[in-house]
Structures are given as C-alpha cells and as structure tokens.
Amino acid sequence: MNRFYIDTIYPVHWPTHYTKEDALNAKKSAENISTAIKKYLD
C-alpha cells in the first residue's frame, strides 16, 4: 500500500499511472488490514 500513499495524499509533479488491477489489489489489501485490526481489537 505504500506505493499509493505519497501521491494520493500530497500533490506530485511526476506522472502516476494506476490500473484497475492496481486499484482492486489496493482495495483488497485495505480490507485485509481492516479485518486483521478488527480481529485484534475484539
């Protein structure tokens, strides 16, 4: 997920290209992280 952090939070001056597959992988990673944290907190 780190590769999405900088240019989604701060403006960058270089071209960024993300595919639909990149977005779906990032979403799945975020869901996995969220699930793990929720299990830890329960």
Question: How many domains does the structure of the chain reveal?
Answer: 1
Higher per-residue pLDDT: 3 or 37: 37
Residue 2 has pLDDT above 70, yes or no: no
Domain that holds residue 27: 2-41
Q: What is the pLDDT of residue 8?
A: 63
Q: What is the pLDDT of residue 1?
A: 56
Q: What is the pLDDT of residues 6-28, one digit of tens each?
A: 666 677 777 778 899 999 999 99
Q: What is the pLDDT of residue 16?
A: 76
From CA 25, how far away is CA 20, in angstroms rounded?
A: 9
Q: Is the four-CA dihedral 30, 27, 22, 17 of positive or negative sign?
A: negative
Higher per-residue pLDDT: 42 or 3: 42
